Structure 1
Amino acid sequence: MEDTFMLRFLEPWHANLKKRLVKSPKVYIRYSGLVHCMLGIETFDQLQGNPIYVASFEGFAIEHVLNNISSKWNFSYYRSAKGEELDLILQLRDITIAIEVKCSKAPQLTKNNFSAIDTVKPNHCYVLSLVAEPYDLGKKLTITNIYCLLKELKTLEKI
């Protein structure tokens, strides 16, 4: 199915850690509109009331990011056996960017997210959400939207 470009397999991030990591790929349907159609979701209100809403936004956001950055970036996700998770890890040269997708206008990171950030040690971490304007939380952590994240990643590509 991956050869039809309908699915995206996101491989797990790995490093020499003393943690048990999830080693199976994450699978995303690349076209969230197709999923919505198959489920009979016709309006945004119907989508918001559906259990698929959060997963659909995560897949949409990841697909949008990966389709709009240079192919020079390596990408993966991070998840430990304890549930520590980051939705997307981007690596280019010596730059590591961690991205956690939250389908919210007031996103909150969990203890497991912070633990994952401590393990991966990215140069910067972004929480990709539904905010209108990005804002910094300090400690190399920014809440942002898709447009501003892509702008930042394009800047990093030029460095």
Structure 2
Amino acid sequence: MMKQWKKTGVASMDEVEKILPSRERRAKGGYVVIECFENIPCDPCHSACPFEAILPFENINDLPKVDYNKCTGCGICVPLCPGLAIFVVNEAASEDTALIAIPYELLPIPKKGDKVDGLDREGKVVCEATVHKVIPGRNKTTTVWLSVPKQFAQIVRHFK
């Protein structure tokens, strides 16, 4: 059976669940989610990680693998993925909300405290989100941290 992302360009939740860390790890704090599903020659995420949590590639076409025992959820890798496929999720941010780091390359750049619409992978509005912080990127990719209702931690991947 053909994978959903190959048909639609959008990963299914089943496909996403396969790349997530254990529930126990997810409860401990921030972690990287690399939604890279296609073997292409690319590896800047590995060299970006100062904690060596993104494991070395045997072949430059390999999909990234993460050692979640080393990942701190720092977000340094987020703006360095040319495919904008890396996010950081922190489900332990508070009882009711999660934080999501999203790579952002549009203008205007939002400001801390802005209310925005959280979008799913298909671009549909799924919730209201609040801009938690904004980190300007050196490579013109800004990292925008959103606060979202916890149930949308694995759903929101962009905003407007």
Instruction: Provide the TM-score with structure 2 as the length reference.
Output: 0.28
Instruction: Provide the TM-score with structure 1 as the length reference.
Output: 0.28
Which protein has the larger Cα radius of gyration, Structure 1 or Structure 2?
Answer: 1
Determine which structure has greater relative contact order: mean sequence separation of CA pairs < 8 Å that are 6+ residues apart, divided by chain length.
2
Q: Which of the two has greater helix per residue? A: 1
